[in-house]
């Protein structure tokens, strides 16, 4: 039904990659074959929400390791943290925000919520401009607060080490991914059933579910991992590009964007229109009706670019009204 | 529906114009349309399928009969005034759409009688006049008029038309500031859909809306194929014919228009394979810009193409812009569809009533590159201040990239035809001379 309104079809490919990433990152704890249990992966931490609380996960989000490193790293002069961060930055520069919309398991979960809303025919909630700016700041505030809380706990001279059991991993305590993966693991029997889930995790999971249902990619807007990636948004190799000459300013890109990234629509000078909100999901490229106006590039290479919507002469299409050559 | 009211403007409205005057208006309009049609059909290279579009646009042709039959069966006909009216919505409510903007010269006089010669745009006067004396059979029997408040003339026209036919006016934001204007316009579109439901007594269902959008998107797709033909080195369709075809979409049922246009396109492609070309070989490639030109007011394009130019592209709301953008939907919620519709008819529109309107200049520049344009003919109707002012801006920008532009101001009569011809001939000669100089 919807293919009539698309020029390029990126979504199916993205879905395949996402499924692959999920199988690789969290599959084995849900009883699937262990794709990613090679030791090398236990040393590399990913810049996306692949959760530490999944049993036997080969790797985890780097943010857990950062918090952990800050709380315990005083003794080792933070060398471990620095090395790990360097690796993460390298990964970010290599794959940019493909980590978000193509490889993040939690992103897939949110798109599931979005799909459910679409099937029920409920319109999405649109953030006001002020709210968007606020959420952008929240993202960086979270990073700042995490560091602010983690480091003093690790410094033994301050005598706060006794707080470690409560305040270590401050972000993980409120991260909805923790609640989500713990509960689903229990449901799928990967972990014994227990009712010891902290109240705060349940609360944040509820808040997350409701907001992800009405607001597409709700968590991505405040995700601190995304925040770090946003800092490298323009230096990483994958880029969203626009040919301003071909743009007709029809605002389709701004309307379909799940993250309300409006630079694609606004910017008419620079050709690099990605930025701190863009997760490179390619939805604007799919829907842009101008030939070659928007494109996703990897360094100098163009991976895909927008195309004029065409009626496809499918077998079924002949029986449909309004489409197809007659 | 509103009761028939007495006119505030013309006392004793029904008997105000004498039978003789009404007949004269009708007769002259018919003659004018016939003359325009003969000019079109006498072109040397012309696809056969185009006769269908002639028939649609014909004065008192089969289409007007079809519309009155449709109305006799209880169908509603909605007149639209600008390109910003979402026709998908009208069709989804089961009504048929008709573009009101008139290109007939004669109905200007009855309107002059009402307004005085107010220095007003002749198209507005002609549209009003046609309604006053029921001069145009296609647009006679409309049940409602949808008039976005775009330029001053159109805005007040809609207001005056209230006396003859119910009017829905829509508040179009004249400055495009992202979301704020979008929200206003979406609400106006929702208001229009309520009004349409009121008139037709039929609920606009989501399914019907999506179906109509698909049909119009198909139309957009065909139109862009047509642009490919016009973009090529040897276009097989003249600018006048292309304008006729795209204007027919406003009068015709879109499904049938799609069918005929895809036939036309395959015929044009065949002609291209045979090596045919519309107009002369080595004609100057002209871009037409400025105020709208509604059929049968094809004075200027006819002159351009008779004097050795070919209009390969235009930037008119009576031409290219009618079909230039598709509606892209990412979800099928009712709200989402409405927003998609509203934004398609608002944001890409480069009507000079928007300000700032840099998009227009950029799009003209882009099409100059893409279509290999050698000169721009900028046409303004008398009293079209918005186009007039923009013409200066566009001329300056075009001077920077070395594209000549001629600005023609015209009225709705044949009086200035020789004067325009002289200027256009000189302009095209200049382009050709320039081409030779650059060749050496």
Query: Which chain B residues are closer than 8 Å to A121 by Cβ?
Result: 332-334
What are the residue boundaries of the structural domains of chain B, listed by start?
A: 19-203, 208-437
Q: What percent of chain B has pLDDT over 90?
A: 61
Q: What is the mean pLDDT of residues A230-251?
A: 86
Q: How far is CA B126 from the centre of its chain?
A: 14
Higher pLDDT, B363 or B8: B363
pLDDT band at A326 (very low <50, low <70, confident <90, very high): very low
Q: Taking CB atoms and an 8 Å limit, are B178 and A287 in contact across chains?
A: no
When the pLDDT of each residue in chain A is averaged and rounded to a whole number, the result is 82
A14: pLDDT strictly greater than 50: yes
Residue B408: enclosing H or E segment and its boundaries? strand B405-410
What are the tens digits of pLDDT across the range A23-49?
A: 877 777 666 666 555 666 667 788 877
- Chain B, nearest residue to A284 by Cα: B330
Which residue of B212, B217, B267, B328 is the best one to mutate when testing the A interface, meaning the one whose CB has the most A CBs within 10 A?
B328
Higher pLDDT, B242 or A194: B242
**Tokens representing residue B72 in the block:** 């006799």
The predicted pLDDT at position A311 comes to 74
Which residue of A217, A283, A291, A326 is the best one to mutate when testing the B interface, meaning the one whose CB has the most B CBs within 10 A?
A326
State the architecture of B208-437 in CATH terms.
Answer: 3-Layer(aba) Sandwich (3.40)
Higher pLDDT, A39 or B381: B381
Using CA atoms, how far apart are residues B184 and B343, in angstroms rounded to an integer?
Answer: 11
Other residues' Cβ atoms within 10 Å of the Cβ of residue B440 = 4
Q: What percent of chain A has pLDDT over 70?
A: 83
Options 3.40.50.11890, 3.90.1150.10, 3.40.50.10790, 3.40.640.10; which CATH number does B19-203 get? 3.40.50.11890
What are the tens digits of pLDDT across the range A168-185?
A: 778 888 888 888 888 888
pLDDT band at B116 (very low <50, low <70, confident <90, very high): confident
User: Going along B265-404, which residue ranges are E strands?
Assistant: 284-290, 309-314, 375-381
What are the tens digits of pLDDT across the range B232-291?
A: 999 999 999 999 999 999 999 999 999 999 999 999 999 999 988 888 888 999 999 999
Q: The whole model's pTM is what?
A: 0.89
The predicted pLDDT at position B71 comes to 92
When the pLDDT of each residue in chain B is averaged and rounded to a whole number, the result is 89
The strand pairing partners of B147, in sequence order, are: B169
The strand pairing partners of B78, in sequence order, are: B97, B144
What are the tens digits of pLDDT across the range B301-337?
A: 999 999 999 999 999 989 899 988 899 888 788 888 9
Query: Are both B19-203 and B208-437 of the same fold?
Result: yes
Which of B179, B217, B262 shows the shortest C-beta gap to A4? Answer: B217
Is-contact A65 A83, C-beta < 8 A? no
What are the tens digits of pLDDT across the range A145-164?
A: 888 888 777 776 676 666 66
Contact status of A6 with chain B (Cβ, < 8 Å): yes
B230: pLDDT strictly greater than 60: yes
Q: What is the mean pLDDT of residues A217-222?
A: 90
Q: What percent of chain B has pLDDT over 70?
A: 96
**Tokens representing residue B90 in the block:** 């009208």
Higher pLDDT, A230 or B228: B228
The predicted pLDDT at position A23 comes to 82
Query: Which chain A residues are closer than 8 Å to B176 by Cβ?
Result: 249
Q: How far is CA A25 from the centre of its chain?
A: 14
**Tokens representing residue B64 in the block:** 């007007």
What are the tens digits of pLDDT across the range A252-297?
A: 999 899 988 888 988 888 888 888 888 899 999 999 998 889 999 9
pLDDT band at A319 (very low <50, low <70, confident <90, very high): very low
For B391, residues 6+ apart whose C-beta sits below 8 A from its C-beta are B290, B378, B380, B407
End-to-end CA distance of chain B: 69
Q: Taking CB atoms and an 8 Å limit, are B369 and A252 in contact across chains?
A: no
The predicted pLDDT at position A321 comes to 44
Q: What is the mean pLDDT of residues B64-72?
A: 91
A1: pLDDT strictly greater than 50: no
pLDDT band at B88 (very low <50, low <70, confident <90, very high): very high
Q: Taking CB atoms and an 8 Å limit, are B365 and A326 in contact across chains?
A: no
Closest CA to B412 of B318, B330, B291: B291
Report the complex ipTM.
0.86
The predicted pLDDT at position A161 comes to 66
Sign of CA dihedral B98, B149, B85, B227: positive
């Amino acid at each position: 039904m919807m293919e009539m309104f698309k020029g390029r079809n990126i979504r199916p490919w993205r879905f395949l990659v996402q499924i692959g990433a999920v199988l690789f990152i969290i599959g084995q704890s849900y009883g699937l074959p262990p794709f990613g249990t090679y030791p090398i992966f236990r040393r590399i931490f990913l810049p996306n929400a692949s959760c530490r609380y999944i049993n036997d996960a080969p790797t985890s989000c780097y943010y857990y390791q950062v918090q952990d490193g800050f709380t315990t790293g005083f003794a080792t002069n933070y060398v471990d943290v620095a090395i790990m961060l360097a690796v993460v930055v390298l990964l970010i520069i290599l794959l940019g925000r493909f980590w978000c919309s193509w490889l993040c398991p939690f992103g897939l979960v949110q798109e599931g919520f979005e799909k459910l809303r679409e099937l029920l025919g409920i319109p999405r909630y649109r953030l006001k401009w002020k709210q968007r700016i606020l959420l952008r700041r929240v993202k960086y505030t979270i990073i700042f607060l995490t560091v602010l809380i983690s480091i003093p706990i690790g410094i033994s001279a301050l005598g706060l080490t006794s707080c470690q059991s409560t305040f270590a991993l401050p972000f993980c305590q409120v991260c909805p991914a923790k609640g989500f993966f713990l509960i689903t693991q229990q449901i799928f029997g990967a972990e014994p059933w227990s009712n010891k889930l902290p109240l705060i995790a349940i609360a944040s999971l509820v808040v997350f579910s409701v907001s992800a249902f009405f607001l597409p990619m709700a968590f991505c807007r405040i995700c601190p991992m995304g925040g770090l990636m946003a800092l490298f948004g323009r230096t990483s190799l994958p880029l969203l590009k626009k040919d301003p000459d071909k743009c007709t300013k029809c605002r389709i890109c701004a309307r379909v964007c799940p993250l309300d990234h409006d630079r694609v629509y606004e910017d008419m000078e620079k050709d690099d229109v990605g930025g701190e909100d863009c997760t490179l999901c390619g939805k604007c490229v799919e829907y842009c009706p101008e030939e070659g106006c928007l494109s996703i590039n990897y360094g100098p290479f163009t991976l895909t670019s927008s195309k004029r919507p065409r009626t496809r002469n499918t077998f079924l299409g002949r029986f449909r009204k309004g489409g197809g050559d007659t | 529906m509103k009761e028939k009211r007495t006119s505030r403007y013309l006392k004793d409205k029904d008997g105000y114009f004498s039978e003789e005057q009404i007949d004269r208006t009708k007769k002259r309009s018919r003659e004018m349309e016939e003359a325009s049609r003969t000019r079109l059909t006498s072109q040397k290279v012309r696809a056969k399928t185009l006769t269908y579009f002639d028939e649609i646009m014909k004065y008192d042709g089969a289409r007007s009969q079809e519309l009155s039959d449709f109305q006799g069966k209880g169908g509603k006909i909605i007149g639209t005034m600008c390109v910003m009216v979402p026709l998908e919505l009208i069709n989804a409510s089961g009504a048929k759409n008709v573009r009101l903007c008139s290109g007939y010269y004669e109905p200007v006089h009855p309107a002059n009688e009402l307004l005085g010669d107010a220095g007003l745009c002749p198209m507005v006067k002609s549209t009003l006049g046609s309604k006053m004396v029921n001069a145009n059979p296609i647009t006679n029997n409309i049940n409602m008029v949808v008039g976005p408040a775009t330029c001053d003339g159109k805005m007040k026209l809609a207001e005056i038309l209230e006396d003859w036919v119910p009017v829905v006016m829509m508040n179009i934001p004249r400055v495009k500031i992202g979301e704020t204007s979008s929200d206003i316009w979406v609400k106006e579109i929702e208001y229009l859909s309520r009004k349409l439901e009121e008139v037709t007594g039929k609920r606009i269902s989501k399914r019907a809306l999506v179906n109509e959008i698909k049909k119009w998107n198909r139309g957009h797709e065909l139109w862009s194929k047509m642009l490919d033909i016009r973009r090529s080195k040897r276009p097989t369709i003249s600018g006048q014919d292309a304008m006729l075809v795209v204007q027919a979409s406003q009068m015709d049922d879109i499904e049938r228009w799609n069918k005929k246009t895809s036939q036309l396109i395959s015929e044009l492609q065949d002609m291209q394979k045979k090596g045919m070309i519309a107009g002369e070989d080595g004609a100057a490639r002209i871009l037409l810009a400025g105020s709208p030109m509604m059929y049968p007011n094809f004075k200027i394009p006819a002159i351009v193409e008779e004097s050795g130019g070919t209009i390969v592209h235009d930037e008119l709301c009576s031409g290219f812009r009618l079909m230039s953008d598709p509606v892209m939907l990412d979800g099928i919620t009712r709200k989402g569809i409405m927003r998609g519709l509203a934004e398609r008819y608002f944001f890409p529109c480069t009507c000079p009533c928007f300000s700032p309107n840099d998009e227009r200049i950029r799009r003209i520049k882009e099409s100059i590159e893409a279509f290999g344009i050698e000169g721009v003919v900028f046409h303004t109707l008398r009293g079209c201040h918005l186009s007039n002012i923009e013409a200066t801006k566009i001329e300056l920008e075009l001077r920077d990239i070395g594209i000549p532009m001629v600005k023609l101001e015209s009225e709705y009569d044949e009086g200035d035809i020789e004067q325009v011809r002289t200027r256009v001939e000189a302009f095209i000669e200049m382009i050709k001379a320039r081409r030779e100089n650059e060749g050496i």
